[in-house]
């Protein structure tokens, strides 16, 4: 009986679960690489290191570098260290984007849960519009329209909020000639 249970639970069940997941979510189970004309530019599931003002930026990780290491802060938001880190991020973001309206979105201030998150909230993408438009010498309306075209709605119709994949948005931004 021990041998039968070991085979069923240790081999058969994992293979069935893997097969079902591959069949139901084929585009999400294998890492979806993003092709461009001359090769592959990156993965749609892992953040890329965009830091220049002319590109949209992703969330930071607890390691300080968005692509160097996976990891998040284990400090609760109520701790003084975490509050200081959030205040420092807010000040840095405001310096980099002084023309932005409204408050800095929450996901811009907190670190990514995995440190490798490829998407940001639509609110954070929209908050970056003045900086990107100014660096590219285009109107904010053009950049907002591009964000709108690349916004993905709630997962399964009700989970999470509207989000934007930074790699896909930046690829579209770089491939479209936006002119005034």
Q: Which residues contact 158 (CB under 8 A, 6 or more apart)?
A: none
Which pLDDT score, from 0 to 100, does residue 69 have? 45
Query: What pLDDT, on a 0 to 100 scale, did the predictor assign at position 17?
Result: 93
How is the chain split into domains, by residue range? 33-175
CB 57 within 8 A of CB 47: no
Residue-level pLDDT at 4: 96
pLDDT in tens, the chain (180 residues): 999 999 999 999 999 998 888 787 766 555 565 555 565 555 665 666 666 778 888 877 654 544 444 445 555 666 778 788 888 888 988 888 888 888 888 887 877 666 567 778 888 889 999 999 998 888 999 999 998 998 888 776 677 788 888 888 888 887 765 554
pTM of the predicted structure, to 2 decimals: 0.66
SS3 string, the chain, reads CHHHHHHHHHHHHHHHHHHHHHHHCHHHHCCCEEEECCEEEEECCCCCCCCCCCCCCCCCCCCCCCCCCCCCCCCCCCCHHHHHHHHHHHHHHHHHCCCCCCCCCHHHHCCCCCCCCCEEEHHHHHHCHHHHHHHHCCCHHHHHHHHHHCEECCECCCECCCEEEHHHHHHHHHHCCCCC
- pLDDT at residue number 13: 96
Number of residues assigned to the chain: 180
First-to-final CA distance of the chain = 74
């Amino acid at each position: 009986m021990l041998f039968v249970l070991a085979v069923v639970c240790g081999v058969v069940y994992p293979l069935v679960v893997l097969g079902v997941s591959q069949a139901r979510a084929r585009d999400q189970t294998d890492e979806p690489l993003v092709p461009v004309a001359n090769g592959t530019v990156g993965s749609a599931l892992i953040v890329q290191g965009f830091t220049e003002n002319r590109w949209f930026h992703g969330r930071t990780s607890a390691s300080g570098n968005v692509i160097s290491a996976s990891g998040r802060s284990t400090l609760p938001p109520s701790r003084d260290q975490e509050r200081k880190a959030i205040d420092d991020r807010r000040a840095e973001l405001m310096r980099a984007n002084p023309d932005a309206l409204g408050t800095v979105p929450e996901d811009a201030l907190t670190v990514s849960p995995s440190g490798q998150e490829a998407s940001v909230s639509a609110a954070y993408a929209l908050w970056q519009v003045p900086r990107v438009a100014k660096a590219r010498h285009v109107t904010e309306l053009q950049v907002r329209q591009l964000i709108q075209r690349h916004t993905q709605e709630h997962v399964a119709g009700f989970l999470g909020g509207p989000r934007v994949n930074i790699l896909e948005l930046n690829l579209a931004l770089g491939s479209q000639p936006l002119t005034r």
